[in-house]
Chains A and B, each alone.
Chain A
Amino acid sequence: MPRAFTPKVVTANALLKGDAVWLTEEDRWSRDIAEAELIEDEAHAQIRLLFAESQPDVVVGAYLADAQAGPGGPEPVHFREGFRTRGPSNYAHGKQAETVK
């Protein structure tokens, strides 16, 4: 039996700044995972990924990452994705230091 599809978000790095961004339902790239579109359907996930990959002048290396619904919106599942939402743990640099919008 194929494994059940787990919810995903589309994420990538921004071309100019290089930081992590997530694809929203309105086709925007947000710097806050909470604004991302949480995708529950495998076929739809592939369509959204193709859409992301069609914007090479905006983002680099788009992929599907596991995510789960949280009170404020999608949240990361794996710790690596968690770090991407915050930044490094040795300095308050990256997203944790910026006012996320």
Chain B
Amino acid sequence: MSYQYNDFDRAFLAERNAQFRAQVERRIDGSLTEDEFKPLRLMNGLYLQLHAYMLRVAIPYGTLRSAQMRQLAMIAERWDRGYGHFTTRQNIQYNWPELRDVPDILDALGEVGLHAIQTSGNTIRNVTADHFAGAAADEIADPRPVAELLRQWSTDHPEFQFLPRKFKIAITGSPNDRAVTKAHDIGLRMVERNGAPGFEVIVGGGLGRTPMIGKVIREFLPKADLLPYVEAIVSVYNLLGRRDNKYKARIKITVHEHGIEEISRLVEERFAAIRPQFSGVDQEILEGIEAQFAAPEFRIAPAGGFDAERERSPAFRSWSDTNLTPHRAEGYAIVSVSIKKHGATPGDASADQMRVLADLARRYGHDELRISHEQNVILPHVHKSDLPALYAALRSADLATANIGLASDIIACPGMDYCALATARSIPVAQGLASRIEELKIEHEVGHLKIKISGCINACGHHHVGHIGILGLDRAGVETYQITLGGDGTERAAIGTRTGPGFSYEEIVPAIERLILAYLALREGEEETFLEAYNRVGMEPFKAALYPAKETADAA
């Protein structure tokens, strides 16, 4: 189950869309200038990129029903070029809408309870959650009701529409952090104390030009205190955050400049002041939301032909080894569908693929889909007896790539192929790398490896937390790629370290290949992952592989 819009939500959306339709008309007839229109369109998720407008649609906590996925497919076909791009922020972006069509697109989204509000601007953005929420075996509780509560509380919150800068919240219900909570303005990790769930609250993480790992501001926050506590953090930031310099405006800088102790003191003070105003209505609302997120009725049945099919088909075995994750319900599995076929654009799904995924979710997956921040699509609840049939259907739709968590499961931002802020391309680097990895047939041997690529310092592709991070820059009019190693986006979060001079567009794929081969040569065994090996041996052996010419020169 997932959150169903009530009449208030629907009326609110319809009104917002009607307003925006009028604004678009006034822009087109010349009565609004671009300076007046730009903030309005950004508030509605509409950007102007290199070749066209781009519409960013929020997928709150990454959860979709099949009807919503089908509508996304319809929009892609009717108003775009037949595809959509799933992003690291659990959004979908349409790269080719025309200005006149955008109000119709927003109405079509509204029909299925989707919108593009607060996907930009200095507001509280789409709250992201663990994409395995409500399904993962290691989870304490489903974090999405809390994410939804935060969404309702923050949407159009009068105090927080003009924060010093954008504000991103991520939440996970598991000790294993799959939501990169430590790289968000606020990260919430569910933990238990005396059998009661609460949150570890992390503040001041972020990527971008000044990457920072978030700091723990509260080790244990009872669940009932969540909203007032988050409100206290945001209002302290709203007062203290710098408005003089947009590069110093994020809360990570506020925390850095004032120190976590001082921020903590101010937050606790504010929290004590506002806590009494939260009379418990929020907890009643939360209970209502929790009921809507009740788990589906899981089937109790034997796993059927699952094991037999694994014996019979090596391809199925390989796919089920990489693309399945343990489910909390007996007999079930979480399926990650890779939309990163080797050589394809990471995160792009065609309208046909979206429809196939919607149909499969309906048929085998209790009607649920998720979008992961790693730009894949998840079917969170599939009974194991259905997996052989599901796999066959995915294969016919060209969606059965067995590479989840492997070297070709690359995160890449749109980069200079679309983004107006980019300093270099990222998509073709990802395509070239994945194709090369496939040619070498080494990724199953290499195992768990996260490569992440951003096309500029804003770090939308999470390169700072990639085991191998790649950052595209413009150096004197030439695309240049810097490599970082040792980043980690999990509960052991770490920012990667730069290897040294960058590489040209032609050199970057061979350079990464050398890194991967160096790892294979130096690892202590198949069990030691790339990241573990790097943490053991450090930078030097990898530098030697990256810059061989320099070494010979030094030796000479």
Contacts and interface: CB of A to CB of B under 8 A. Distances in A.
Nearest to A59: B34
Interface stretch (A13-21, A44-52, A67-75): A13-21
Given A78-B477, A79-B479, A88-B417, A18 B52 contact: yes
B452 interface: no
Chain A residues touching B, range: 20 to 34
A91 B478 CA distance: 22
A89 interface: yes
Given A56-B34, A57-B30, A88-B417, A18 B53 contact: yes
B459 interface: no
A18 B428 contact: no
A18 B477 contact: no
A89 B30 contact: no
B33 interface: yes
Chain B residues touching A, range: 20 to 34
B425 interface: yes
Contact of B427 (A20, A56, A61, A90): A90
B17 interface: no
A94 interface: yes
A28 interface: no
Nearest to A77: B477
B428 A89 contact: yes
B256 interface: no
B30 A88 contact: no
Given A79-B479, A83-B417, A88 B427 contact: yes
Q: Which of A17, A18, A19, A94 has the most CB of B within 10 A?
A: A18
A93 B345 CA distance: 14
A56 B30 contact: yes
A84 B50 contact: yes
Nearest to B54: A18
Contacts of A77: 477
A56 B49 contact: no
Nearest to A84: B50
Contact of A61 (B34, B95, B348): B34
A60 interface: yes
Interface string B270-298: 00000000000000000000000000000
A61 B48 contact: yes
A28 B30 CA distance: 18
A17 B34 contact: no
Interface string A78-101: 111001100111110111000000
B28 A80 contact: no
A77 B474 CA distance: 13
B229 interface: no
Given A17-B98, A18-B98, A89 B425 contact: yes
A20 B422 CA distance: 16
Nearest to B343: A90
Nearest to B427: A90
A94 to B, nearest CB: 5
A84 B418 CA distance: 9
A90 B431 contact: yes
A73 B288 CA distance: 65
A51 to B, nearest CB: 16
B319 interface: no
Interface in B93-139: 95-96, 98-100
Q: Which of B28, B417, B431, B479 has the most CB of A within 10 A?
A: B417
Contact of A94 (B51, B98, B474, B477): B51
Interface string B368-386: 0000000000000000000
A57 B345 contact: no
Interface string B32-59: 0110000000000000111111000000
For the complex of A and B, 5 pairs with smallest distance between CB atoms: A88-B417, A57-B30, A18-B53, A18-B52, A94-B51
Given A18-B48, A80-B416, A95-B51, 8 more contacts: A20-B51, A57-B28, A61-B34, A79-B478, A83-B50, A89-B428, A91-B81, A93-B81
12 contacts: A15-B28, A16-B100, A17-B52, A19-B52, A77-B477, A84-B51, A88-B51, A88-B417, A89-B425, A90-B348, A93-B95, A95-B51
